[in-house]
A and B are shown apart, each in its own frame.
Chain A
Amino acid sequence: MIEARGLTKRFKDVVAMDHVSFRADDGRVTGLVGPNGAGKSTTLRVLCTVIRADSGRARVDGFNVADEPLAVRRQIGALPHLSGLYPNLTGRENIAYYAAMQGLRRREAKRAVDTVIERLGIGDLSDRRAKGFSHGEGIRVALARSMVHRPQTVILDEPTNGLDVVAARALRDVIRDLRREGRCILFSSHVMQEVAMLCDDLVIISGGRVAISGTPEEIRRRTGSEDLEDAFVAAIGPDEDPV
């Protein structure tokens, strides 16, 4: 579970986050939606303890991101914007590195790596060096890597970006599986259709501020739009152009 309250972050003159508050519950998929440069990645980075907010607080499974970063990191599995695999290591070695870094013991780690490889159906990638992976293959291995320790909270930054139809669908299946297991999934996207297909809750963010949040149904009702995309445009205001 994620609770963010009043998160604010400034980079020099740019306000990347301006009092961002929302919550993402266990057993639900929460979508963080907004145009490019809205502050989605910054929000996710703060929740992943990679950067610190200037003010406001956030808790992940009860742990404060600012005061207990190591405890937070034990709870989360994060997939950042780029897959960030090590090109000289094989798919399996990339995953095993993270399993070891998560503190899994040798045998435990091996079992976890085998399980996640099977679960994501990436057996054909496990013994190839990451150097030769396509973008989609890289994302799948990176996702496996972020989930190898079975984290309670999964944070994904635009995971379906650049994936083909089949790969995107496979990824959505994985996300639904995680929801069934009662995990908390927070992912960012700027593709409205995808969000509509997957999300139980939406947080629409624009210019560093939360414009509106709630279930897709609530958002449609409150903006008076039938279509979620229209609702999105209505929520962020006419100046912003969704991409």
Chain B
Amino acid sequence: MNTVTTVLAKEVRDTLRDRRAVISGLSGALFGPLLFVVVMNFTVDRTIDEGEDTLEIPVLNAAEAPNLVAHFAQHLIDAKVDAFESREALRASVRRGETAVGLVIDEGFGTALGEGKAARVWVVSDRGNASGHSSVRRVRNALGGYGRMVGVLRLQLRGVDPAIARPIAVLSDDVSTPSGRSVVLLGMFTYFLLFSCLLGGVHVAVDATAGERERGSLEPLLTLPASRAALVAGKFAATAFFMAITLGIGIAAFSIAIDYLPLAEMSMDADFGLEECAMAFIVLVPVAVLGAGLLNAVASFTKSFKEAQSYTGIAILLPTLPIILVLLNPMQPTAPLMLVPSLSQHLLITGIVKGDPVDPLYLAISAASTAAVGILFGLLAVWRYRSEKLLV
């Protein structure tokens, strides 16, 4: 036990002396929340703005279709009649990205409509321009609505029940709750926390194994009367220690950042106080054990500092994969799912942010299985330390 604490104390001191290591370790925990706030505000602003504001679109030959223009106005789409001289000018402007979407009404639109034929209208847009997609959708929806309206009127004029042209009525019944809809947001939240936590231990794990070997300090270390298991345990503990610290800083940064998130606009509860922070830490801290085991095991198989850095860089993505899976295919927490590291933490954190109480049994299963996987990786590192390939 003495050896373990001696190694732990030395690795902690060694890492804290290295300013670069400290900065790179904290970068994830501090930049994550910042990035989160910026991205979320931007995304929410855009969806909200485009949903509620009046959309101005240039319309050519508007005189052909006064009723359509009136219909647009009801749907908060303002037709700008004189914006462009010609169709070419409109197309050029759309191509440059200055105009998201424009409408060209066919010369014979009014006549075709009067004669009961298909009247033509072109929606001019650039599919490669992602920011214009929602405007295009609104214009198309408004056009479709107008078309259906005219169709209904035509059938009624001829004494036909309009329902005959609509054999199927598709109705939607959306049962999602506001917080349930924000699953992507919550996914990013745990993703960032997990990632920054793991990042906080990369330097010490790499330095304490591959770095130690590269400097030639591993060989004398192995001649000391300490078991290999104790050496690994000390390095493991140092890695977990830094991961836990980074996690704590990350959660604190998020609890501050959450005040700047547009939660009200997304109908979410902004209550993420001290109690929730503490609970989130308890839920996530077993990930530090998992990460410490994983990184020490990976680093013990590498030959140099650089090699270790690249492999641990890949390794810290592994625990985040289950979260991506759950983002693509949302799941509800169940006891068996609590056996899956990082997925279980994600589901529990989601519950905390929603304001649900944490099920102690779920928490226990999640913590035990995650820590167990970490310890298994740790044992792999011990096995590697016992092998003389470590030196050769």
Q: List the interface of chain A (C-beta within 8 A of B).
A: 11, 45, 48-52, 70-71, 73-74, 76, 78-89, 93, 97-98, 100-103, 129, 142, 145-146
Contact = CB atoms under 8 A, between A and B. Distances in A.
Given A81-B216, A84-B215, A85-B217, A50 B18 contact: no
Contacts of A70: 225, 227
Contacts of B150: none
A101 B217 CA distance: 14
A197 B178 CA distance: 86
Interface in B369-392: 388, 391-392
B294 to A, nearest CB: 24
A4 to B, nearest CB: 17
28 contacts: A11-B392, A45-B219, A49-B222, A50-B222, A50-B223, A50-B388, A51-B388, A51-B391, A70-B227, A73-B225, A76-B223, A81-B219, A82-B215, A82-B216, A82-B217, A84-B218, A86-B215, A87-B215, A88-B13, A88-B14, A89-B14, A93-B13, A97-B6, A97-B10, A98-B224, A101-B224, A102-B225, A103-B2
A89 B215 CA distance: 13
Contact of B223 (A48, A82, A93, A97): A48
Contacts of B392: 11, 51
Across the A-B interface, the 4 shortest Cβ-Cβ residue pairs: A82-B216, A84-B217, A88-B17, A84-B216
A89 B223 contact: no
Contacts of B225: 70-71, 73-74, 101-103
A129 B12 CA distance: 16
B237 to A, nearest CB: 15
Interface in B14-38: 14, 17-18
Interface in B187-226: 215-226
Contacts of B221: 84, 101
Nearest to A77: B223
A103 B13 CA distance: 19
B93 interface: no
Contacts of A49: 222-223
A81 B335 CA distance: 54
Contacts of B6: 97, 100-101
Given A88-B14, A89-B13, A101-B3, A73 B223 contact: yes
A86 B217 contact: yes
Given A89-B13, A97-B10, A80 B224 contact: no
Contacts of B3: 101
Max count, chain A CB within 10 A of own CB: residue among B13, B223, B227, B392: B223
B164 to A, nearest CB: 83
Interface in B24-56: none
Contact of A73 (B2, B18, B224, B391): B224
Contacts of A50: 219, 222-223, 388, 391
A11 B226 CA distance: 26
What's the interface size class on B, roughly? 20 to 34
A83 B218 CA distance: 10
Nearest to B3: A101
A97 B5 CA distance: 11
Contacts of B10: 86, 89, 97
A223 to B, nearest CB: 34
B222 A86 contact: no
Contacts of A51: 388, 391-392
A207 to B, nearest CB: 19
A81 to B, nearest CB: 7
A87 B226 CA distance: 22
Contact of A78 (B7, B220, B226): B220
B388 A102 contact: no
Contacts of A45: 219, 391
Max count, chain A CB within 10 A of own CB: residue among B18, B220, B222: B220
A8 to B, nearest CB: 15
A112 B20 CA distance: 33
Interface in B99-141: none
B220 A145 contact: yes
A50 B219 CA distance: 7
A100 B225 CA distance: 11
Max count, chain A CB within 10 A of own CB: residue among B14, B217, B226: B217
Contacts of B388: 50-52
A11 B17 CA distance: 38
A73 B226 CA distance: 8
B215 A78 contact: no
A54 to B, nearest CB: 11
Nearest to B213: A84
A78 B2 CA distance: 21
Given A50-B391, A87-B215, A89-B17, A79 B220 contact: yes
A92 to B, nearest CB: 13
B229 to A, nearest CB: 12
Nearest to A82: B216
Given A50-B388, A87-B215, A145-B220, 7 more contacts: A49-B222, A50-B222, A73-B225, A74-B225, A88-B17, A101-B225, A103-B225
Contacts of A100: 2, 6
B227 A83 contact: no
A100 B10 CA distance: 10
Contacts of B227: 70
B220 A146 contact: yes
B220 A86 contact: no
Contacts of A73: 223-226
A149 to B, nearest CB: 9
A93 B14 CA distance: 10
A101 B390 CA distance: 20
Nearest to B228: A69
A129 B392 CA distance: 28
